Structures are given as C-alpha cells and as structure tokens.
Structure 1
Amino acid sequence: MRRRFVIEAVMVATYGQLLVPSQPVDFVLPYSTIMELYEMKDAAEPVMDDPSDDAHVKAKINELIQFFEDPFNRKKIERSLQMPWRESSPLLLNDRIQFTVVYAVDNAHYGELFDPIETELLLTSLKLNVPLLSDQFEFQDRLIEAEVPVQMYDIEDYEFAVEEGISTEEWDSHRDL
C-alpha cells in the first residue's frame, strides 16, 4: 500500500531523500505548487544559500518541470484542472514514487493566517485526509496555534512517516480527545 503525503512540488526537488523511500509513496501536489516551480526556475534570487546547492536544486526543478510537461503526464494534469478538487490519475515517476496533482482551490477560511500556497496545502490535506510533509517550522507552528486538524510530519521525520507513521484511524481518535 502506498503512503500518501500532501507536499509542495519544490520540496520534492529540494530533498532528494524523498525520492528514495523504503516503501511506495504517492505525493499529492496542489497544482499551484507545480506552477511555483516555474517561478523558482526563472527567479533571480537563489533557492538555496550555497551556490552549488542552488545549482543542483534548480537542475532538479528543471527535471521535475520536464516530468510534468511530458505529454502523457500533462494530459493527466489538464484533466484534473477541469473541476475544483479533482485529482489527476497517478503520474508514475518509478516503481516507488507517484504523484497525484489536485486542482486545489484556496478559500478565505484560513486565508488570514496562511498564504495561498499554505492554505491550499492544508485544505488538500483536510479534504483528502492525507498527512502533510513540510520543512517550514513557522508554518507548522501556525498550524498548531490555529488548531488546524491536519496531521503533519516534518521532512526530517519522513522515513518514520513512510515506514510507520500514524494511521488515519489513530489520528482521528487522538484528535477527538
């Protein structure tokens, strides 16, 4: 069974260890995070502080963009964009990694506390009941402070999340306490 995680597309490019999980994984990406890759690719400011790391990550961003632009994958993505909250068919990277693109729609419910990308990430997580993966401590702190009922893992805990994690049932029962 594949473990599912909502994540920003740029984090997949930034953290190479995400692409070598011990078990099959489905990364659920709000479509807007894919569009963010194009902005980062063309931006003058670096993605990473170290110039060699920045060059590496930008190369990975380009590879990911090419993957999503593949005609077969692009067609699946375009179908998902026909209706809000529609999920694409799986985009297979290899036998362990697949992507599902979601046409997430930002709404004002969390708009005051979170930026549009963060809002789409947490709404996707809530709507699909899928844990969130992030490296942004401030985002994680604001989720806790706002008592948003999403399950979140820090990128550093990725292997735990893949191998063991907390089941949806356990999360739901603990959340109700």
Structure 2
Amino acid sequence: MRRRFVIEAVMVATYGHLLVPSRPVDFVLPYSTIMELYEMKEGTDPVMDDPEDNEHVKLKIAELIGFFEDPFNRKKIERALQMPWRESSPLLLSDTIQFTVVHAIDNAHYGDYFDPIETELLLTSLKLNVPLLSDQFEFQDRLIEAEVPVQVYDIEDYEFAVEEGIASTDM
C-alpha cells in the first residue's frame, strides 16, 4: 500500500532522498505549489544558501517542471483543475513514486495564522485525511499553536513516516 503525504512541490526538488523511499509513496501536491516552481526557477533569489546547492536545486526544479508539463501529465492536471478539490489521476514518476495534484482552494479559514500556500497545504491534509510533510519548524509550531487537527511529519522523519508512521487513531 502506498503512503500518502501532502507536500510542497519544491520540497520534492530540494530533498532528493524523498524520491528513493523504502515503500511506494504518493505525494499529494496542491496545484499552487507547482506554480511556485516557476517563480523559483525564474526568480533571482537563491533557493539554497550554497551556490552549488542552489544550482543543483534549480536544475531539479526545471526537471520537475518538465515532468508536470509532459502532455500526458498536463492533461491529467488540467482535468483536476476543472473543479475545486478534485484530485488528478496519478502521475507516475517511477515504480515507487507518484504524484496526485489537487485543485486546493484557500478559504481563509486559517488566514490569520498561515499564508495562502500553507493554508492550502493544511486544508488539503484535512480534507483528504493525509499527513503533511514539512521542513519548516515555524509552520509546524503554528499548526500546533492553532490546534489544527492535522498530522505533520518533519522532513527528517520521512523514513519513519514511510516505514511506520503514526495511525491517526493514536493521535
């Protein structure tokens, strides 16, 4: 059975180890996080502090954009964008990695605590009952402070989340 995680598209490009899991994984991406990839690719602001790392991540971002722009994948994404909260058909990257794109809608319910992308991530997690995967400690802290009922894993705990995870009934 595939493990599912809501995640930002840029994290997939930034953390290469996410693409070599020990079990099959489905990364659920709000569409707006895919659009962020274009901004990061074209932007002058560095994604990473180290120039070599930054160049490597920008290359990975371009590769990921190419994957989503593939006509077959693009068609699946466009179908999902026809209705709010619709999920795309699986976009297969490999035998162990697939993406599901969600047309998430920011309803401003958590607008006081979170920016629009963060809100879409947590609403997607809530709506689909899928854990969040994040590398942002501040975001994780605000989730706890706002008492948002989502399960969140730090990027450092990715292998644990894939292998064992924590059942939502145990929370």
Per the TM superposition, whether the score is higher than 0.5 is yes
> Secondary structure of the equivalent of 1:104?
coil
Give the corresponding residue for 2:116: 116
Give the corresponding residue for 1:132: 132
TM-score normalised according to structure 1 size: 0.96
Matches within 5 A, 1:16-95: 16-95=16-95
Q: Which 4+ runs in 1 deviate beyond 6 A? A: none
Deviation of residue 112 (structure 1)? Answer: 1.1
Deviation of residue 8 (structure 1)? Answer: 0.1
Deviation of residue 37 (structure 1)? Answer: 0.1
Q: How big is each residue's C-alpha offset from its partner over 1:143-173, in whole Å with a ceiling of 9 and x where there is no partner? A: 0000000000000000000000012xxx2x3
TM-score normalised according to structure 2 size: 0.99
> Secondary structure of the equivalent of 2:62?
helix
Give the corresponding residue for 2:101: 101
* CA distance in structure 2 between the partners assigned to 1:37 and 1:96 by the alignment: 23
Task: Report the residue type matching 2:103 in the other structure.
Answer: Y
For structure 1, the residue ranges without an aligned partner over 5 or more in a row are none
For structure 2, the residue ranges without an aligned partner over 5 or more in a row are none
* CA distance in structure 2 between the partners assigned to 1:165 and 1:45 by the alignment: 35
Q: How big is each residue's C-alpha offset from its partner over 1:16-41, in whole Å with a ceiling of 9 and x where there is no partner? A: 00000000000000000000000000
* CA distance in structure 1 between the partners assigned to 2:95 and 2:166 by the alignment: 23
Deviation of residue 54 (structure 1)? Answer: 0.1
Deviation of residue 93 (structure 1)? Answer: 0.0
Give the corresponding residue for 1:145: 145
> Secondary structure of the equivalent of 1:95?
coil
Give the corresponding residue for 1:5: 5
> Secondary structure of the equivalent of 1:100?
strand
* CA distance in structure 2 between the partners assigned to 1:116 and 1:57 by the alignment: 24
Provide the aligned C-alpha RMSD in A. Answer: 0.6
